[in-house]
Amino acid sequence: QELPVQQRTDAVSSLVYEAYARVKDPVYGCVGAISYLQNQVSELQMQLAVAQAEILYIQMQHHDDDEPVTQIPEMGMVLDHNFPSSSNVIHHDSLSRESVFGYDVVS
Give me the tens of pLDDT residue by residue for the chain, a chain 107 residues long: 688 999 999 999 999 999 999 999 999 999 998 999 999 999 999 999 999 999 999 999 988 875 654 555 555 544 444 444 444 444 444 444 444 545 444 43
Residue 53 main-chain phi, psi, to 5 deg: -65, -40
* pTM score above 0.75: no
DSSP 8-state class, residue 30: H
| pLDDT at residue number 67 | 60
User: Which of 103, 104, 105, 93 lies closest to 23, judged by CA?
Assistant: 103
| pLDDT at residue number 65 | 73
User: Which of 85, 91, 83, 88 lies closest to 37, judged by CA?
Assistant: 91
CB 107 within 8 A of CB 10: no
